[in-house]
Chain A
Amino acid sequence: MSSGVRVIGVGNPTRGDDGVGPAVAVAVARTVDPEVDVIVSTADPSRLIERWESADSVVLVDAMADCAAPGRIAVFDATDEPLPSDFDAISSHGFGVPAAVELARSLGRLPNHLVVVGIAGSEFEGIGLSPAVEDAIADAVQAVMEVVEHA
């Protein structure tokens, strides 16, 4: 069940709720079968293509900008279609997760199965998660575990 499965928490813990991806990944690592790779990526999202190399099935955990409903969890299978706009990059500077996924699709370098678990955040400044996002970690871990168990 878990062979070739990798969970990647994406985000920057010094940018408020953007740190929820790494926080969920750390929580998943505590409970999941040790054969499942769990990693945190605070790097440029264009490097995600390297991060999921050799994995058959990948679960990306990332923050979404949805200030109206912090803590809301969305699970999206990106294996065959682009991520919805909820997942667009917050920064105008970079290369966000949706662009990295689509670039990998163009290059034929997506894993066989890619699911993105998004958690809506509202505060993207300073260190620490806002209360609603902190409260959503347990449900987000559950959402990740369900994907891992069916992978």
Chain B
Amino acid sequence: MSETRTIEVGYLARVEGEGSLRAEVIDGQLGDVEFNIFEPPRFFEGLLRDRRFTEAPDITARICGICPIAYQISAVTAMENVCGVAVDGALHELRRLIYCGEYIESHALHIYLLHAPDFLGYDSGIAMAADHRAIVERGLRLKQTGNEIVRVLGGREIHPVNVRVGGFWRLPTRAELQGLATELDRARDEALETVKWVSRLNIPQITRPVEFVALSDPDRYSFFEGRIRSTEGIDIDVSEWNDVFVEEHVQRSNALHARVRERGMFAVGPTARFALNHEKIQPVAAKAAAEAGLKPGVANPFESIVVRAVETLHAVEEALAIIDAYEAPQTANLAVEPVAGVGHGASEAPRGLLYHRYEIDDTGTIMEAQLVPPTSQNQLSIEADVREVLRANLDKPDDELQWILEQSIRNYDPCISCATHFLRLEVNRV
């Protein structure tokens, strides 16, 4: 007679959106593992059709409450790409600055309130806060520094409105930037302490070979510059995304699954960026990473929390450097006239590469839109991690198993709301 064990997480907490996990163990052998996304589809790509090309940044920003800047930047760079306009100089730097704000805000939230509780044995950030007040207060201050950058550059903290095709609606004043620099000076120490703190957490040792994919630029740690590269040799222009990758519908999920056409699964996100771009990270972040024992290209997904902390420090330092070198541009935005054709844009959202493709006509009407968020690119990799973690922990009781499986999904800081446009865990032990 066979024995079936089913481990089921019906509704995953501390992730963005609605999903579940179901795993089956038959006679001690691992069976099916399914990471399901049941958040309803959101039809954003359809909503964009027949809208003006200038509306894409504001419409797509609504896909996500935690990474709206990534959506805005991918959208505006795609539109500027098709219309043949290069937004560079100080406007480009201001876009990098607001992106730093989004990294600080998103990473601090995930590190302190969503992921660290897994490592310290708490079932929520709120429960953890009662025992670790000073640490959580530090995380909140850091997050608020990121929020403040987004507020000043974006017009408001939630769903910012100031990024537009061609540049910005309004430029920040010197006094506003100086105010941010004062906060960032304080945040630098907090970010450095964050790296030290997460590197001392008890990090499970599980490694699995994986192809990392990220935007990569010879001159800097890319937010939205350069080419798409991978640790297995992919090196393409952003416009070639569909030639090398493919999105597929899988019946159990309302999110498309992406894979490399020739090989299959890959991973995007902080660990992928650090693997490909570590030489370009700010020196203070590189030093902190080395002291934390972080090695580029590390394939232990549980170390992503350390990489996220290193990127937070990088974003603080980068933001200070941008403000220090800033000279106001002549104009807040460049004129962009519609040109019929197909535009491609990509940026490195906190969770990983976010690719946009738009076809517009000569009046500037969007004919077709394709949005590929990071979580749909990571789904196969998440499932592979879950299988690996399950295999290594089959002797554990269901509650401990569920804990480490949820933790391994949160390694990706998944945004299911983006991917449907997260977790019930079910482990079936047969």
Contacts and interface: CB of A to CB of B under 8 A. Distances in A.
A107 B417 contact: no
A106 B130 contact: yes
Nearest to B105: A44
In the A-B complex, list the 7 residue pairs whose CB atoms are closest, starting with the nearest.
Answer: A93-B65, A106-B129, A106-B130, A102-B126, A43-B157, A103-B126, A106-B126
B133 interface: yes
Contacts of B127: 106
**Residue among A46, A93, A94 with the highest chain B CB neighbour number at 10 A:** A93
Contacts of A47: 144, 147, 157
A92 B421 CA distance: 14
Interface stretch (B135-143, B172-180, B213-221, B254-262): B135-143
23 contacts: A12-B158, A43-B147, A43-B151, A43-B157, A43-B158, A44-B147, A44-B157, A46-B109, A47-B144, A47-B147, A91-B65, A92-B16, A92-B17, A92-B416, A93-B16, A93-B417, A94-B65, A95-B113, A103-B125, A103-B136, A106-B126, A106-B136, A107-B133
A34 interface: no
B30 interface: no
A49 B140 CA distance: 10
B126 A46 contact: no
B66 interface: yes
Interface of A: 12, 42-44, 46-47, 49-50, 91-95, 99, 102-103, 105-108
Interface in B104-139: 109, 113, 125-130, 133, 136-137
A44 B106 CA distance: 12
Contacts of A99: 126
B129 A93 contact: no
A94 B136 CA distance: 17
Given A42-B158, A102-B126, A92 B417 contact: yes
A103 B128 CA distance: 9
A50 B129 contact: no
A72 B143 CA distance: 35
Contacts of B156: 42-43
- The DSSP consensus for interface residues of chain B is helix
A107 B137 contact: yes
A44 B144 CA distance: 9
A41 to B, nearest CB: 10
Nearest to B137: A107
Interface of B: 16-18, 39, 64-66, 109, 113, 125-130, 133, 136-137, 140, 143-144, 147, 151, 156-158, 416-417
A12 B137 CA distance: 26
Contacts of B133: 106-108
A46 B128 CA distance: 16
A49 B133 CA distance: 14
B66 A93 contact: yes
Nearest to A99: B126
A102 B136 CA distance: 13
A46 B143 contact: yes
A16 B137 CA distance: 33
Contacts of A46: 109, 140, 143-144
A92 B157 contact: no
Given A105-B126, A107-B136, 12 more contacts: A42-B156, A43-B147, A46-B143, A47-B157, A50-B144, A93-B17, A93-B64, A93-B65, A93-B66, A95-B109, A103-B136, A107-B129
A127 to B, nearest CB: 14
A21 to B, nearest CB: 14
Contacts of B143: 46
B86 to A, nearest CB: 33
Contacts of B18: 92
B393 to A, nearest CB: 28
A92 B420 CA distance: 13
A45 to B, nearest CB: 10
A145 to B, nearest CB: 29
A92 B18 CA distance: 8
Nearest to B127: A106
B410 to A, nearest CB: 15
Contacts of B157: 43-44, 47
A50 B145 CA distance: 13
Nearest to A103: B126
A79 B109 CA distance: 25
A49 B144 CA distance: 11
Nearest to B157: A43
Contact of B158 (A44, A49, A106): A44
A93 B68 CA distance: 12
